[in-house]
Structure 1
Amino acid sequence: MENIARQSVRLCPFMNKTASSLRNVKSLQQSSVSKMAQKCPFMGQAMQKAHLATAAASGAARAVGSASTSTGRGEAAQDMLMTDHATQESKFDYEGLFEHEVRKKRVDKSYRFFNNINRLAKEFPMAHRQEEQDKVTVWCSNDYLALSKNQQVVDVMKKTLDKYGAGAGGTRNIAGHNQHALRLEAEVAALHKKEGALVFSSCFVANDAVISLLGQKLKDLVIFSDELNHASMIVGIKHASTTKHIFKHNDLNHLEELLASYPRSTPKLIAFESVYSMSGSVADIGKICDLAEKYGALTFLDEVHAVGLYGPHGAGVAEHCDFEAHRAAGIASPDYTTVMDRVDMITGTLGKSFGTVGGYVAGSQRLIDWLRSYAPGFIFTTSLPPAVMAGAAEAIRFQRSHLELRQEQQRHTAYVKQGLADLDIPVIPNPSHIVPILIGNPDLARQASDILMDKHRIYVQAINFPTVARGTERLRITPTPGHTNDLSDILLDAVDDVFHTLQLPRVSDWERQGGLLGVGEADYECESNLWTQEQLQLTNDDLQPNVREPIIDQLEVSSGLRL
């Protein structure tokens, strides 16, 4: 009972007040205070439960041990029970939480099952599933130019692996960096015609690191973010812990309205993408730069789904905006300020068109030196392996002078889009290489993907929430230079069969419902394809000779600027 009394004094206002008039807590047991406490609706109930629990514990102990052991265990049980009662806590059901959260994904049909897809380098776009003889055609890879299997890239990676081993040995901050990092960052900077570049383990990390650091270091920074920005940018904005505004997708009037609500002296950042990967829509980079200059903002452009695919040298949509000037200048800069010059920082990936893995940011020398010195996502992350960096640098060099890769990818995309249109299959309209087939239901999107796989041996992953908004679920097709017309014809027949089997809504059905995302909308104006017919007629010989095996100087900023 002494423990109960002590707990009473600590927890109950009535007992605390009464005990203060006594010389010590032990005397409570002999006083009338203990009896009075039993009348308290709170302490009385606790004392009764503790008494019963103590008796039960003592009885169990007597059944298996001596009286002395019984007394010790009874007191321990009493102490434990009182402590549990005092905190009103029990162990959290972690596994229950995990199960509940996953069950919600299954109920709303957004649970994701990852298919076992093993892409075959010598046969791509073919891949095999669990068994090697179980082959399928891959139609949703982001290896847009199939450079992951390019023999020139693979050979460089093999030689580097044999000579320098599998890993980098740690962070560049501790293990130092190497010639492969120096060359890769020089290639990236030259591609985007910037003073410097910094390579990260992924573009997710790069976006998070850059945006979050800007928010942490620029006092009162306000970030303006397109509503369809990638998750990596959204995470970076959250980590920036600063004021943000979300502007409607590609709505520059809304963006300007938000920008105009702050003084020009307030630091601002406009974060956006060039090609939005799930819809294929494209930002008007030039006009966004106009707004940035008018209202004193920095521009952050994610070119992840555009590098390798746009511009005469594969630098992305920003380069494509001044296509002819860059084509004529080659590795050099045109004699005027281009759209790509006007963008303050450009991020991109090495894991899609460049066929390897990693991410980067390109910008001014001062910006890159600042990021290299302060960004935790760079400083504390193990460097990419030498073989990966060597392969990525080779991929950038190779695609720079092979215009036909981009052109073939565009032609195959146009063939598929036209074939789907002829079948009344709803494709969300866009001017890029993305082919998003609108389904509008998560369960039906999954079923469509399963039928393509199981019946037609075609792999196209269903895209659902949170990657896209609920009710806009889709299949996302991405042709490559290897998806020739004969393979496209097989795909078109298969998609038509899926729509017939599941009775999915076609364009005419969406029209009767008023349309969605440009599909079946009467007043929707389709944008012209980014690649013009004139650009598609060019050949590699039309490129400036200086893009073939150019000599690119090492970047001083990669190692750090000496005073």
Structure 2
Amino acid sequence: MKHLKAFEDALGEIHGEGRYRVFIDLQRQRGKFPKAIARFEDGEREVTIWCSNDYLGMGQDEDVINAMHTAIDSFGAGSGGTRNISGTTRYHVDLERELADLHQKEAALLFTSGYVSNEATLSTLGKILPNLIIYSDSLNHASMIEGIRRSGADRRIFRHNDVDHLRALLELDDPERPKLIAFESVYSMDGDFGRMQEICDLADEFNALTYLDEVHAMGLYGENGAGVAEMLNLADRIDIIEGTLAKGYGVMGGYIAGHETVIDSIRSMASGFIFTTSTCPVMAAGALASVSKLRTDEGRRLRSLHQENAALLKKKFADAGLPVMDSPSHIVPLMVGDPERCKALSDTLLFDFGIYVQPINYPTVPRGTERLRFTPSPVHDGAMMDELVAAILAVWKQLGLDKAA
């Protein structure tokens, strides 16, 4: 093959930095989450999953699964094409209506993933708004960064959650130019919240649009699971809300919600929407069932238990002297700070203790801040947590890692 050495060198560099990623073959078992079967070359063993983004276990929910069975029995497997040609079904329409109502917006638009919804929407906004300036939090997700890059708009990067820096950047620009502030509600690697109230105030002062990524909050916060904006009663001050159906809702897909004219413009102009085969009806049906269920008392019960378990695991880590990062959300990051030992810690937990948690290395996080990222769900219990802490302590000492001060 031509130029093969360039590919070999690229992989060699990743291996040399200790951040080569190996996929674990997991066989999840219906109704047994967070337990799964990991398949290795020398056999299989049961493991406990500690890093799933199916935060509430809705991918195993009976109502969701039954809705998906009904849809596939009625509609078949694929969607049949793009939404413009033959890929729109009753499930797509009903799900968009449900999501718009969830966020108290006029309309919503489905995409095949959260990555695509961010990339397609942000890149299209630059085409709709001439001379647009986009102000982006420095820790925004790669999909937002790529969408902003492709938008052709001028970019201003403000230091993470630093509203004083954001204000300074806004003050430097022409007040007549259109502006948009793009940020997240929950930053998934550190687990902190975006400073939504202050950003909305700045947006009002400088006549800027607001674009909020609620991906890691959907289903998990607010009375109806509509995210942090709902929890803070700020949804009406957010112009475009972007979310996913693949994390708290346990299925797959992404979406945006906002003013009907804004959503219709994105629908009509975003190449990432126009030229992509639509979400399969079975996925839309499952997502619709999940969104609907998490708006009920059962959803509120799951959210409460989820927060309790996250707080409990943080406390157990802290009591054991482990360097758990300060996080107000459901994300529980444990700082390691070295890519090779982070991977060694993850591997040893898996092979020796049946505990599955993946290392988080560069480029997902900056070099020197490598970590394990735990996401306890409502079905992780105290006994599982005690086993986890004991295993980490044993491997931590073996690897010569420092405990928290």
TM-score by length of structure 2 reads 0.97
Structure 1: distance between partners of 2:46 and 2:380: 16
Q: List structure 1 segments (4+ residues) > 2 angstroms apart after TM superposition.
A: none
Pick from 249, 261, 266: which aligns with 2:160? Answer: 249
Residue 364 (structure 2) pairs with residue 453 (structure 1):
no
Letter paired with 2:401:
L
1:287-436 equivalences under 5 Å are 287-322=198-233, 339-401=234-296, 402=298, 403-436=300-333
Q: Return the offset for 1:238.
A: 1.1
Which residue of the partner structure matches residue 80 of structure 2? Answer: 169
Task: State the distance in 2 between where 1:377 and 1:205 align.
Answer: 7
Partner of residue 118, structure 1: 27
Aligned counterpart, 2:57:
146
Other-structure match for 1:213: 124
Does the CA-based 8 Å contact 2:47-2:355 persist in structure 1? yes
1:51-62 alignment runs, 5 A limit:
none
Aligned residue for 2:8, secondary structure, equals helix
The question of whether the paired residues in 2 share the 8 Å contact of 1:125 and 1:138 is answered with: yes
Aligned-partner residue type, residue 298 of structure 1: L
Aligned residues: 401
Q: Which amino acid aligns with 1:273?
A: E
Aligned-partner Cα distance in 2 for 1:168–1:454: 40
Question: Do 2:87 and 2:278's aligned partners in 1 also have CA atoms closer than 8 Å?
Answer: no
Q: Deviations over 1:423-476 (max 9, x none)?
A: 110011011000000000000000000111011100000000000000000000
CA deviation after TM superposition for structure 1 residue 264, in Å: 2.1
- Matching residue of 1:21: none
Match of 1:182? 93
Counterpart CA distance in 1 for 2:88 and 2:348 is 48
CA displacement at 1:122 relative to structure 2: 1.6
Task: Please state how far the C-alpha of 1:158 moved relative to its aligned partner.
Answer: 0.3
SS of equivalent to 1:381:
coil
Greater relative contact order (Cα < 8 A, sep 6+): 2
Compute the displacement of 1:133 (Å).
Answer: 4.8
Q: What does residue 60 of structure 1 align with?
A: none
* Residue identity opposite 1:116 in structure 2: D
Of 192, 196, 201, 2:112 maps to 201
Structure 2 unmatched runs, 5+: none
Q: Which residue of 2 aligns with 1:520?
A: none
CA contact (8 A) 1:274 1:285 kept: yes
Tell me the distance in 1 between the aligned counterparts of 2:153 and 2:96.
30
How much does 1:263 deviate? Answer: 2.4
Larger helix share, 1 or 2: 1
Amino acid at match of 1:433: H
Written as runs of structure 1 = structure 2, the 5 A alignment for 1:532-543 is: none
Q: Which stretch has the larger CA shift, 106-115 or 469-478?
A: 106-115
Aligned-residue CA RMSD in angstroms? 1.1
The letter for the 2-side match of 1:242 is A
Aligned residue type for 2:337: G
Residues 1:98 and 2:7 aligned together: yes
Q: Which deviations, in whole Å up to 9, do the C-alpha atoms of 1:13-48 show, x marking residues without a partner?
A: xxxxxxxxxxxxxxxxxxxxxxxxxxxxxxxxxxxx
Deviation readout 1:174-229 (Å, 9 max, x if unpaired)? 11511100110011111111100000000100000110011122111111110100
- Rounded Cα–Cα distance in structure 2 between residues aligned with 1:354 and 1:161: 19
The answer on whether the counterparts of 2:87 and 2:277 sit within 8 Å (CA) in structure 1 is no
Instruction: Choose which of 393, 397, 400 in structure 2 pairs with 1:496.
Output: 393
CA distance in 2, matches of 1:117, 1:264: 53
DSSP 3-state at the match of 2:187: coil
Q: Which residues of structure 1 form unaligned runs of 5+?
A: 1-91, 323-338, 509-563
Paired AA for residue 478 in structure 1: T
2:140 corresponding residue in structure 1: 229
Q: Please state if 1:108 is matched with 2:17.
A: yes
1:273 aligns with 2:184: yes
Q: 1:176 to 1:474 in 2, by over 3 A?
A: closer
Name the CA distance, whole Å, in 2 between partners of 1:185 and 1:137: 35
Cα contact 1:140–1:459 (8 A) shared by 2: yes
- The secondary structure found in structure 2 opposite 1:246 is strand
For residue 366 of structure 2, the aligned residue among 469, 487, 493 is 469
Question: Aligned match of 2:67 in 156, 168, 175?
Answer: 156
- Per the TM alignment, residue 489 of structure 1 is displaced from its structure 2 partner at its CA by 1.1
Give distance in 2, aligned partners of 1:144 and 1:361. Answer: 21
Query: CA offset at residue 265 of structure 1?
Result: 1.5
Distance 1:93 1:293 in 2: 55
Query: For 1:426 and 1:442, how far apart are their aligned partners in 2?
Result: 16
1:242 positional shift = 2.1
- From the two aligned structures, give the one with the greater strand fraction: 2
| Contact 1:265/1:296 (8 A) holds in 2 | no
Letter in 2 for 1:130: R
Secondary structure of 2:85's partner?
helix
Match of 1:262 in 2: 173
Deviation at 1:93, TM superposition (A): 4.0
Paired with 1:448 and 1:166, the residues of 2 have a C-alpha distance of 40
SS of aligned partner of 2:183? strand
Which of 1 and 2 has greater Rg?
A: 1
Q: Secondary structure at the match of 1:260?
A: helix
Q: For 1:136 and 1:475, how far apart are their aligned partners in 2?
A: 17
SS of match in other structure, 2:243: strand
Asked whether the equivalents of residues 95 and 288 of structure 2 are also in contact (C-alpha less than 8 Å), the reply is yes
Match of 1:444 among 317, 336, 341: 341
Aligned mates of 2:200, 2:78 — CA distance in 1: 40
Identity %: 46
